[in-house]
Amino acid sequence: MHKKELINLALSSLRSNKLRSALTTLGIIIGVFSVILLVALGNGLQKYITDQISGLGSNILFVLPGKVGGTQGPGDSINKLTVANAKYLESRINSIALVSPLISKITTVKYQNKSNKNTQVWGTSSSFPDIIKTDLVRGSFFTTAQEKSGGKVAVIGQTVVKNLFPTSDPIGKKVLISGGRYTVIGVSAKKGSSFGQDQDNVIVIPFSAARKQFSIDTVNYIYLSAKSPELVTFVKKRATEILLSRFEEDDFTIMTQEQTLQTVTSITSVLTIALGGIAAISLLVGGIGVMNIMLVSVTERTKEIGLRKALGARRIDILLQFLLEAVTLSLVGGLTGILLGFLVSLIVSQFFVADITPWSVILAFFFSVAVGIVFGIAPAIRASRLSPIEALRYE
């Protein structure tokens, strides 16, 4: 039989059972669609996070309390990154890197009778804007002198402005943070939100003021910024030596931006694979649907198979006929699924992260063809092996 005839045959028999073919195809459509969409989401997430980290600049290093990759996670052990240690690090390393510790506390801030909840109050040093890019739309960041003297000044984010100063100019006004009065000296530019966290609901105050205000003696992180990209490795080495001289054990972790990227990429890759894997299960279920319907079809058409054999069809003719039907079902489903997955990913990417990767489309395509072959072969072999007289006698 010619290829064209086989294809026509497969199409005509699928057409004669439109609803059934459509429902079987739907299983594959959903499978392929979810593989593409979920992989796109996973990839979008990865791209988004890596972009955010890359946006910090390649000179950045972070010192985190606790040992990452040890037996316990960073949050589990007692934070030994004290303010004294941070100061000591700064004094020893300031020739090759900018240093800013960060104390973070979530609290409610007030101005007159208005209040703004769940505000992140960050205590940083005056070099913070030089390490983590912070654009101001009004006023200025606090100076080293203000930081040293423990001046009660604040740079507020857009959400804080919106809730506390809907009509008036915030510059020079005093906001109440945990009972302390802070003068607003700057307003930062809008950053938007990231994973449900409002990045504009932030107030930055001098580190020394935050330490007293919240009676905290440990820092959440220490940010380091090497004075040139070539110095990153050296800064990491020096910072490790300096901190080790103060600690009994290496109960801290220094991550360069590259390492952070690697860590995040490895986490999000696992996430993407897990999402894709879950979606692949639905493709598998779709494949079983194809097999099921092909088995039904073989049984239903036993007589037809007997007739075709009597008229001269060889085993391979019957095998190819049924295999091609299964492949056509899964291929039509696969292509529709790809199209649908592509469209929905495009729509999703408008308001959330989604990034369609060519490999997931190619993979989904070949996977759907493979599903047709794998799940179509058993029914097709079964059909090809039917004995012509028994098949003809079948009612």
Partner 1 sequence: MKQDEEKHLVIELSNISKDYISDEIVTHVLHNVSLQVWKGEFIAIIGPSGSGKSTLLNIIGLLDVATGGTYQLSSQNVTNLTEDELARVRNKEIGFVFQQFNLLKRMTVLDNVILPSIYSGISSTLRVKNAKELLIRLGLEEQMHKKPNQLSGGQQQRVAIARALMNSPSLILADEPTGNLDSKSGEEVMKILKELNAQGNTIIMITHEKDIADQAQRVIYIKDGKVQNP
Q: What are the residues binding partner 1 (CB under 8 A)?
A: 1-2, 5, 12-13, 16, 303-304, 307-317, 388-389, 392
Whether the CA torsion 300, 302, 308, 313 is positive or negative: it is: positive
With respect to partner 1, which residue has the nearer C-beta, 278 or 310?
310
Give me the count of residues in the chain: 395
What is the rounded distance in angstroms from the CA atom of residue 151 to the CA atom of residue 86?
Answer: 19
CA distance 193 to 199: 5
Smallest distance from the beta carbon of 295 to partner 1, in angstroms?
19
| Cβ closest to partner 1, residue 57 vs residue 388 | 388
Residues 103, 122 contacting (CB under 8 angstroms)? yes
H-run or E-run covering 202: strand 202-206
Nearer to partner 1, 104 or 302 (CB): 302
Minimum separation from the CB atom of position 35 to partner 1 (A): 34
Question: Which amino acid is residue 51, in one-letter code?
Answer: D
CB 280, min distance to partner 1, A:
35
Closest to partner 1 by CB, 12 vs 108, is 12
Neighbours of 351 (CB within 10 A): 7
Task: Pull the structure tokens for residue 92.
Answer: 């020893």
Read off φ and ψ for residue 374, nearest 5 degrees. Answer: -60, -45
Q: Report the nearest approach of partner 1 to the CB of residue 17 (Å).
A: 9
Task: Give the helix/strand (H/E) hosting 148.
Answer: helix 144-148
Nearer to partner 1, 64 or 313 (CB): 313
How far apart are CB 328 and partner 1 at their closest, in Å?
Answer: 16
User: Closer to partner 1 at the Cβ: 172 or 312?
Assistant: 312
Distance CA 262, CA 268 (A): 10
**CA separation for the pair 166, 169 (Å, rounded):** 9
| Shortest distance, position 355 Cβ to partner 1, whole Å | 45
Q: Which two tokens stand for residue 221?
A: 């992180």
CB of 84 or CB of 310, closer to partner 1: 310
Give dist(CA 274, CA 366) in Å, integer: 19
Give me the amino acid identity at 256: T
SS3 helix, strand, coil % of the chain, rounded to 5? 55, 20, 25
DSSP-based three-state secondary structure for 145? helix
Name the nearest CA neighbour of 154 among 199, 127, 188, 189: 188
- Nearest distance in Å: CB 305, partner 1: 11
Nearer to partner 1, 112 or 387 (CB): 387
- What's the closest the beta carbon of residue 321 comes to partner 1, in angstroms? 11
Q: Which is nearer to partner 1, 209 or 386 (CB)?
A: 386
Q: Which residue number, 152 or 301, has a Cβ lying nearer to partner 1?
A: 301
Shortest reach from residue 299's CB to partner 1, in Å: 16
Using an 8 Å Cβ cutoff, are 372 and 329 in contact? yes
What is the closest distance, in whole angstroms, from the C-beta atom of residue 382 to partner 1 in the complex? Answer: 15
CA angle, residues 271, 232, 142, in degrees to nearest 5: 95
